Structure 1
Amino acid sequence: MKHLPKHLRPKWRYVAVGIETDPDVSLDRGAFQRELWYAAQNLLGDAGSADADGTVVRFQFADGDGRAVVRARRDHVEPLRAALACIESVGDATSAISILGVSGTIRACEDKYVDGPSDEVERREVVFEGATRSAVVGGDRLAVDADGRRAYATVDDVE
């Protein structure tokens, strides 16, 4: 079978996605891909999700923080961004999904948005809501263990 001429081949854009969840959760590419396709199908329908594509090309995740590169057809980036915004959880873990940026090549997407410096994660004691509590600190974000539940804060919210 012959290849399509260059002007008939699909044009792709690559969406850099940030994924945040509890530091003790481990996620894999398959679970994120499944949630993305499920969200796209629910929001865009079968034909719309097939047009947008939404294939996870790159995925990395560690210590509650991850990055992914998702492929989209050039004219369907906005519907794919809307589908990404519909993701509330990946697997059983509540997750926060953010769009870091869009690029025309995988390499440019990784260089601009994915390969930034990662914050070291450490567990330490902080004062939150007037009491000393255990927290996982990564950069300027904290996940505080508060009376059997998890509260999220920034370093400005604690002492």
Structure 2
Amino acid sequence: MKHLPKHLQPRWRYLAVVLEAWPDADFDRRDFQRSVWFSAQNLLGDAGSADADLKVLRFDFSEGTGEAIVRARRGHAEEARAALACIDEVNRDPVGLFVAGISGTVRACEEKYLRRAAEFRDERKVVFGDAQRSAVVRGNRLDVPTDGAFAGATELDFE
């Protein structure tokens, strides 16, 4: 079967997505792809979702932070951005995400918006809720485990 001529091939836009969740969140590319499709279908409907054709191309997530590249048809980048903004959990784990940027090629998307310096992750003891606990430190944020969940805090909360 012959390929389509270049002027008839679909054009794509690539969205750089930065993910953040609690340190114990456990999901993979497949779970994130399912959440993207579900969100797009709920927001755009069946026809709009099929037209935008959102697909997760690259995905890297561990220890509560990650990155992804989501492909969308040209002309549907804003709808894709809106659908991604509607995602608040992946595989029952609460997640926050934002679109760092949109590019015309995967390479430009990675170079401009992703692969930033890895954030230093540490663990230390803090006093929280009148008890000494172990907290996960990521940058200027602290995640303190409390009764099966996490509480987010900053350095200012402990001073």
TM-score, length-normalised on structure 1? 0.92
Paired positions, count: 159
Compute the displacement of 1:146 (Å). 3.9
Equivalent positions of 1:140-155 (< 5 A) are: 140-146=140-146, 148-155=148-155
Residue identity opposite 1:11 in structure 2: R
1:110-152 deviation digits (Å, cap 9, x = unpaired) = 1122211111222211244665432111112221224554211
Partner of 1:139: 139
**What corresponds to 1:117 in structure 2?**
117
CA deviation string 1:15-47 (max 9, x = no partner)? 011111111222210000001000100110111
Structure 2 residue ranges without an equivalent (≥5): none
Q: Percent identity?
A: 57
Alignment of 1:64-79 (within 5 A): 64-79=64-79
Whole-angstrom CA distance in 1 between matches of 2:49 and 2:156 = 41
SS in structure 2 at match of 1:4: coil
Q: TM-score, normalised by structure 2?
A: 0.92
- Determine the structure 2 residue equivalent to 1:82: 82
* CA distance in structure 1 between the aligned counterparts of 2:75 and 2:128, rounded to whole angstroms: 46
Letter in 2 for 1:91: N
Following superposition, the deviation at residue 11 of structure 1 comes to 1.1
The 8 Å contact of residues 128 and 157 in structure 1, kept in 2 or not, is answered as: no
Further displaced range: 72-81 or 131-140: 131-140
1:36 and 2:22 correspond: no
Aligned residue for 2:101?
A: 101
List alignment gaps of at least 5 residues for structure 1: none
Partner of 2:18: 18
SS in 2 for 1:66: strand
Instruction: Quote the offset at 1:155 in angstroms.
Output: 2.8
* TM-align CA RMSD: 1.6
